[in-house]
């Protein structure tokens, strides 16, 4: 078998109902970042307008472009007439005005600047239309089956829709794999243009909710009030998505309700073997043993009542026959709480062990014969 990718992330015992709390928003979802576990859902696949929460995908593609070397934080972008024509939330870019990627990211994260979002899109893909194609392709790759993007900033457009579930998916991808985005999403107040432009975050959680890490607000007359709100406490980060709330204040209250519920009811535990894993014998291999390693799934999301007294046991194969591929399953680490299993994490081959050839086998026999003499 090839290397397993989260074959068994966790067998979670979730006795607490995912509807133990209620929110006013018609569509909402609470997700834990590390495992992707959904802790609360309310009409989470309803296809609704996301407004500027759209920019989570724009930010994701921008951060991926930085990671790939296509952009750097110091890259200077020249604003086009198209980018400057966006309207709505903006920092009033002038045509041909130049600004670094870092400052544009700050403007998008803090004040939801449509002009900067489109300028970034054009820099990355050559045009907003080409960038939107990338947005939709990335959405497919992430399993965002409720989503169709029509622009890079979230201004109203026919058919521009997503869902609370899909927003959680792209938000998770952004904060899980691009934690540097926090340097912008956690800003409460800042400036641009050498202090001439004042910025105040549209996300009130950043100022008023303990542990808030972001992420993106959105509102239009048709979308009403939306939010992807993230926060971290005790090493666990949660994503609360609120869609189509009646007021701005209500979306923040709903997000706080979900986040506080998650933090009060669940804990994230990182599991590692208590003792070193012994090597597993290999028959007919180019080496005698193969070293097992813990597979993906060592982060366990548990009810707090079950997270305090965890025990573990290891089961390994007595031996395996070559060839052994890196990532082959050699056993499992079982985690229990109160005698009940809460997770089974695969133990995988940490290296490849090819099968010996006939020539190698003959050489071994000859070496054995000479040594015995």
Is the pLDDT at 76 greater than 70, yes or no? yes
Identify the CA nearest to 174 among candidates 56, 253, 65, 77.
56
Environment class of residue 233 by beta-carbon count within 10 Å: exposed (0-12), middle (13-18) or buried (19+)? middle
Query: What are the tokens at 223?
Result: 């979308």
- Please check whether residue 163 is in contact with residue 242, taking contact to mean a CB–CB distance below 8 angstroms: no
Note the pLDDT tens digit of each residue in 325-365. 999 999 999 999 888 898 899 999 999 999 988 777 667 66
* Residue 370: count of CB within 10 angstroms of its CB: 8
CA distance 342 to 35: 14
Residue 5 is predicted with a pLDDT of: 35
Residue 371 is predicted with a pLDDT of: 60
Instruction: Report helix, strand or coil for 173.
Output: helix
Residue 372 is predicted with a pLDDT of: 58
Is the pLDDT at 13 greater than 80, yes or no? no
Task: Report the chain's mean pLDDT, rounded to a whole number.
Answer: 92
CA distance 133 to 129: 6
Is the pLDDT at 57 greater than 80, yes or no? yes
Query: What are the tokens at 210?
Result: 């303990």
Strands (E), 157-211: 189-192, 197-200
Share of the chain above pLDDT 70, in %: 91
User: What is the chain's length?
Assistant: 373
Share of the chain above pLDDT 90, in %: 82
CA distance 233 to 236: 5
The secondary structure of 233-276, three-state, reads: ECCEEEEEEEEEECCHHHHHHHHHHHHHHHHHHEEEEECCCCCC
Is the pLDDT at 3 greater than 70, yes or no? no
> Hey, which residues does 292 pair with through a beta bridge?
349
Confidence band, pLDDT 50/70/90 cuts, at residue 296? confident
Residue 309 is predicted with a pLDDT of: 83
CA distance 171 to 228: 7
Is the pLDDT at 134 greater than 90, yes or no? yes
CA distance 50 to 129: 18
CA distance 217 to 225: 8
Is the pLDDT at 2 greater than 50, yes or no? no
CA distance 98 to 128: 18
Catalytic residues: 52, 55, 112
Note the pLDDT tens digit of each residue in 234-259. 999 999 999 999 999 999 999 999 99
CA distance 175 to 161: 22
Question: Does the CA dihedral 7-8-14-20 come out positive or negative?
Answer: negative
Predicted model pTM: 0.87
Residue in this structure with the two tokens 């045009």, named with its chain if needed: 127
* Cα–Cα distance list, 319 to 3, 268, 290 (Å): 19, 34, 9
Note the pLDDT tens digit of each residue in 303-328. 988 888 889 999 999 999 999 999 99
Confidence band, pLDDT 50/70/90 cuts, at residue 299? confident
CA distance 137 to 149: 10
Confidence band, pLDDT 50/70/90 cuts, at residue 4? very low
**Higher confidence at residue 244 or residue 13?**
244
b/e string for 64-99 if b means 16 or more Cβ within 10 A? Answer: bbbeeeebeeebebebbeebbebebbbbebeeebeb
Strands (E), the chain: 27-32, 38-42, 76-78, 98-100, 189-192, 197-200, 212-220, 224-233, 236-245, 266-270, 280-283, 289-290, 292-294, 299-303, 310-316, 320-321, 329-337, 340-349
């Amino acid at each position: 078998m090839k290397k397993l990718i989260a074959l068994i992330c966790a067998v979670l015992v979730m006795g607490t109902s995912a509807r133990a709390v209620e929110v006013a928003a018609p569509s909402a979802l609470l997700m834990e970042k590390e495992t992707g576990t959904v802790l609360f859902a309310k009409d989470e696949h309803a296809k609704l307008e996301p407004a500027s929460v759209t920019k989570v995908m724009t930010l994701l593609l921008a951060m991926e472009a930085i990671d790939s070397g296509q952009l750097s934080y110091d890259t200077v972008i020249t604003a086009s007439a198209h980018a400057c024509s966006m309207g709505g939330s903006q920092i009033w870019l002038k045509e041909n005005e130049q600004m670094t990627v870092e400052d544009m990211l700050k403007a998008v994260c803090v004040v939801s600047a449509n002009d900067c979002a489109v300028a970034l899109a054009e820099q990355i893909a050559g045009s907003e239309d080409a960038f939107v194609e990338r947005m939709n392709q990335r959405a497919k790759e992430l399993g965002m089956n409720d989503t169709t993007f029509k622009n890079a900033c979230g201004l109203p457009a026919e058919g521009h829709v997503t869902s609370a579930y899909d927003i959680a998916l792209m938000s998770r991808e952004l904060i899980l794999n691009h934690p540097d985005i926090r340097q912008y999403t956690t800003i409460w107040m800042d400036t641009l243009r050498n202090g001439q432009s004042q910025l105040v975050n549209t996300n009130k959680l950043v100022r008023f909710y303990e542990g808030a890490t972001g992420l993106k607000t959105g509102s239009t007359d048709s979308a009403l009030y939306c939010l992807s709100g993230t926060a971290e406490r005790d090493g666990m980060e949660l994503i609360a998505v609120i869609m189509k709330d009646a007021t701005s204040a209500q979306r923040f209250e709903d997000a706080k309700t979900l986040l506080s519920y998650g933090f009060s009811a669940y804990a994230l535990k990182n599991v590692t073997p208590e003792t070193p894993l012994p090597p597993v014998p290999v028959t007919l291999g180019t080496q005698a043993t193969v070293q097992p390693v813990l597979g993906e799934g060592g982060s366990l999301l548990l009810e707090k009542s079950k997270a305090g007294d965890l025990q573990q046991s290891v089961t390994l194969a007595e031996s395996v026959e070559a060839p052994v591929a890196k990532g082959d399953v050699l056993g499992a680490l079982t985690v229990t709480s109160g005698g009940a299993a809460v997770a089974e994490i695969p133990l995988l081959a940490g290296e490849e062990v090819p099968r010996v050839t006939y020539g190698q086998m003959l050489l071994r026999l000859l070496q054995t014969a000479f040594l015995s003499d």
